[in-house]
Every structure is written in C-alpha cells, then in structure tokens.
C-alpha cells in the first residue's frame, strides 16, 4: 500500500492484512473537514479503524457516523431507533450477537457501507472482534476461479435466514425478543459475489454470509460446496486482524470489504456496545452493473501478499 502521509492524525496499522488505530482526534468535539477527510481516507485504506478513549453520547456517535453517509436501521431491529445495542450479560448463556464470521445486513438491497461500534462496557478479558480482508480473498483466487466468481450472483435471504431452518440463532433472539422484528428482517436481495468498492475502485469477494443460501440459477445443493469454498477463502488467518477493546473505543468497519466475528470468550461478564450503521450503495460488480452514480476513488488499499495466494 502506498498511502500518502497524514498531516493531522496518527494512523498505526494493526496487521499486514487490515486494521489500524487512529489517534489525535476527539470525536466529541467534532472534526474539521481537513481532519475528517484524513479519517475517512484512513478508514477506506485500512478497512477497520479504532479510535480509543472517546467519551461519546449517542447523538455524538450518530453525528460522526453520519458524516460517512445516511444512517440506516439494522435489518430485523424492532422499533424506530437506528441504534442497536449489542449486549451480552454476565448471566447470558449460549451464543452472543455476531459470534460467527459475517457481514451485517447482507439481505438488504443497500447492505450497509459500514458500522460504528462504541464500547460502553467491556469484560476484563476476551470479547475481541476479528475481521478479514475481502480484497485479499478475491486477489488470492486463481485466474479461472476469478472468472467464475466474477460471473456469480448470490442470493442473500432473510426469508430463509430468520426463523425456521435459518442461521440466525434462536437463542440469541430469545434473550432479548423486544429488540427484534422478525418480519422486518425477512427480506431478500441478489448481490454480485464480486463487488467493486467505489472508493477504491477495486474488487472484493463479497463472500457468502450466514444469510446466503444459493447462487442465482443454481440449486441450494449445487451452491453449497461453492459457498463453503468461498467462505473458507475469506476466513484465512493471513487475511485477518483482531482488535482488543477498551472502554470508550469507537470502531468503524467497512461492511462491504470485510467480514467480522465477535468472540464469545468472556462468560460471566457484561459486554455492552452501541452500534449504528451507515447505508451503502446498491452492490455492483462484473455480474451486475451500477444502477446509480458511483462515488469517486479516494483511497488505496493493501494488496494480498503473493506468498499467501
Ligand atoms: C456485530 O456483529 O455487529 C457485533 C460486533 C461486536 O460485538 O464486536
């Protein structure tokens, strides 16, 4: 990655795959346009950024996230608030929210560009969040597999994902039923498996998530081995990074170019996070042309190490 130096902020990469910590900003006071432009560039270059030691009200968190785009409600979230509390109590047993590799809201027509997650309460150990770089996943494919991937449309189905045989764990919903609106989450979308991220002009493997069940024009059975294959590529340890939380940390991730995994290794402790989501463009790529104006390229991103490929 040949990033231009930053003038107003400090950006420290976390791994050679993705992720960085930004320091030198106080989000509660608001950012000038110059400083925000650097934070935005650092975000698109590193895909996930964490800014520690922030003291943010809900409104301040929303105001910061809204500088990246319109805020959008999480799919399947009850009520009118755009804020989703990601909570696990000391007394909770079983699965946590997001305790598997996934991207948020992939069944939405405009699946989120990104999320801003703020740590209100964190356990003394555990509760890290892992991410993987979907640019690297795409680049690691052989030319023949790239050609196949470029041609595929994946069906992301909230209809199949929520309830019944779905992948959304019922025990997670049962713990806080007031938070979820089953019907609102039961929507479907067809997205290209390979999408272009407008702000970098590069391709990602928009890999199958727990809401993806089959490729367009293929049966569920035909799709299953391919889905598994692409998921395993995306989750390769070499393409990941892992963030340790501290209270008051604000994290922002590109939900189109990464997958994340909230680790469930802090049983007996509370973990309380506040999440807001930023609306994305309609996914486009080689198999699906854009249907609206495409934002300009503003950032370069890290490329896959050929040794890993
Ligand atoms: C999520 O999947 O959005 C939750 C991430 C986390 O709690 O670390």
Q: Do 91 and 238 meet the contact criterion of CB atoms below 8 Å apart?
A: no
297 belongs to a structural domain: no
pLDDT tens-place string over residues 212-269: 889 999 999 999 999 999 999 999 999 999 999 999 999 999 999 999 999 999 999 9
Is the sign of the CA dihedral 5, 293, 114, 85 positive or negative?
A: positive
Q: Give the separation between CA 307 and CA 200, rounded to whole angstroms.
A: 23
Who wins on pLDDT, 20 or 97? Answer: 20
Is the sign of the CA dihedral 115, 116, 121, 122 positive or negative?
A: positive
Q: What is the CATH number of the domain that holds 116?
A: 3.60.130.10
SS (H, E, C) 205-253: ECCCCCCEEEECCCCHHHHHHHHHHHHHHHCCHHHEEEECCCCCCEEEE
For ligand 1, the distance from its centroid to the CA atom of residue 177, given in whole angstroms, is: 18
Report the domain count for the chain.
Answer: 1
Show Cβ contacts of residue 299 under 8 Å, excluding neighbours closer than 6 positions.
41, 44, 45, 199, 200
| Nearest CA, atom 4, ligand 1 | 98
pLDDT at 180: 67
305 belongs to a structural domain: no
309 belongs to a structural domain: no
36 belongs to a structural domain: yes
300 belongs to a structural domain: no
User: Ligand 1 in contact with 21 (CB < 6 A)?
Assistant: no
Q: Which domain holds residue 17?
A: 10-292
| Nearest CA, atom 1, ligand 1 | 98
pLDDT at 309: 47
Who wins on pLDDT, 93 or 126? Answer: 126
304 belongs to a structural domain: no
The lowest-confidence range among 53-62, 99-108, 175-184 is 175-184
| DSSP annotation of 128 | -
pLDDT at 174: 67
78 belongs to a structural domain: yes
pLDDT at 95: 83
Q: What is the mean pLDDT of residues 173-180?
A: 68
pLDDT at residue 48 is higher than 50: yes
> pTM of the prediction?
0.92
pLDDT at 219: 94
User: Ligand 1 in contact with 98 (CB < 6 A)?
Assistant: yes
Show Cβ contacts of residue 123 under 8 Å, excluding neighbours closer than 6 positions.
266, 269, 270, 271
5 belongs to a structural domain: no
User: Ligand 1 in contact with 264 (CB < 6 A)?
Assistant: no
């Amino acid at each position: 990655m040949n990033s231009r130096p930053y003038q107003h902020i400090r950006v420290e990469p976390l791994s050679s795959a993705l992720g960085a910590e930004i320091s030198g900003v106080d989000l509660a006071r608001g950012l000038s346009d110059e400083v925000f432009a650097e934070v935005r560039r650092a975000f698109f270059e590193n895909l996930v950024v964490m800014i520690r030691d922030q003291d943010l009200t809900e409104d301040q968190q929303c105001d910061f996230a809204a500088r990246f785009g319109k805020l959008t409600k999480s799919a399947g979230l009850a009520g009118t608030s755009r804020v989703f509390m990601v909570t696990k109590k000391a007394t909770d047993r079983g699965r946590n929210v997001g305790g598997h590799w996934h991207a948020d809201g992939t069944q939405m027509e405009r699946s989120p560009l990104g999320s801003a997650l703020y740590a209100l309460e964190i356990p003394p150990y555990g509760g890290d969040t892992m991410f993987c770089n979907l640019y690297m996943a795409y680049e690691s494919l052989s030319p023949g597999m790239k050609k196949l991937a470029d041609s595929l449309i994946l069906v992301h189905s909230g209809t199949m994902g929520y309830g019944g045989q779905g992948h959304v764990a019922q025990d997670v919903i049962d713990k806080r039923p007031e938070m979820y609106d089953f019907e609102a989450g039961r929507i479907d979308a067809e997205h290209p498996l390979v999408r272009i991220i407008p702000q970098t002009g590069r391709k990602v493997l928009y890999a199958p998530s727990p809401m993806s069940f089959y490729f367009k024009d293929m049966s569920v059975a035909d799709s299953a081995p391919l889905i598994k294959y692409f998921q395993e590529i995306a989750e390769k340890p070499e393409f990941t990074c892992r963030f340790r939380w501290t209270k008051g940390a604000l994290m922002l991730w590109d939900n189109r170019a990464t997958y994340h995994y909230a680790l469930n290794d802090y049983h007996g402790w509370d973990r309380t996070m506040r999440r807001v989501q930023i609306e994305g463009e309609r996914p486009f790529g080689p198999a699906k042309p854009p249907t609206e104006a495409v934002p300009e390229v503003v950032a370069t991103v890290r490329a896959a190490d050929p040794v890993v490929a």
